[in-house]
Amino acid sequence: MYEDEYLESDVMTASGPRLHMLVVDGALQFASFARDDLQNRNFESSHENLTRARDCVSELISGLNPEVAPEMVGSLKQLFAIIYRHLAMADMTHEPAEIDQAVKLLTSHRDAWAELLIKLPAENPGTEGPSSTEWEV
């Protein structure tokens, strides 16, 4: 219960970049749960977790703003579409390897995003980084 309140507070007060990271983390968490479910042949739970992971990826896609950086947004849309496809295939085929591919791509994106979040405030001393409107990707 306390964790739910903390998460809600974190989401409600998160900057755009931090919120993006939370959604990526959610996708990774649900994909991991789904992989465990597939290994245990719990297909109903796997379906539910894969649906939630796909919902997170859909949210990542819908949060992209092509007016800010059209080329980067195009690349991210393609990346997230590939991730979504792997999660959908895992749901249809019950192949953990499909989840592994999605997790590999999400983890790579998360690592790059985390590095960017650390780097940007250091480049702009005296600031807390760009405002959320500047970060709409």
- Which band of pLDDT confidence, cut at 50, 70 and 90, is reported for residue 135? very low
Q: Please report the pLDDT score of residue 131 as a whole number.
A: 44
- Alpha carbons within 13 angstroms on the beta-carbon side of residue 18 total 13
Dihedral sign for Cα atoms in the order 70, 73, 79, 85: negative
pTM of the model: 0.79
Q: Please report the pLDDT score of residue 5 as a whole number.
A: 53
For 28, phi and psi rounded to 5 degrees?
-65, -40
For 64, phi and psi rounded to 5 degrees?
-75, 135
69-103 pLDDT, tens per residue? 899 899 999 999 999 999 999 999 999 999 999 99
For domain 22-114, which CATH number applies: 3.40.50.150, 2.60.40.10, 1.20.120.340, 3.40.1050.10? 1.20.120.340
* Residue-averaged pLDDT of the chain: 84
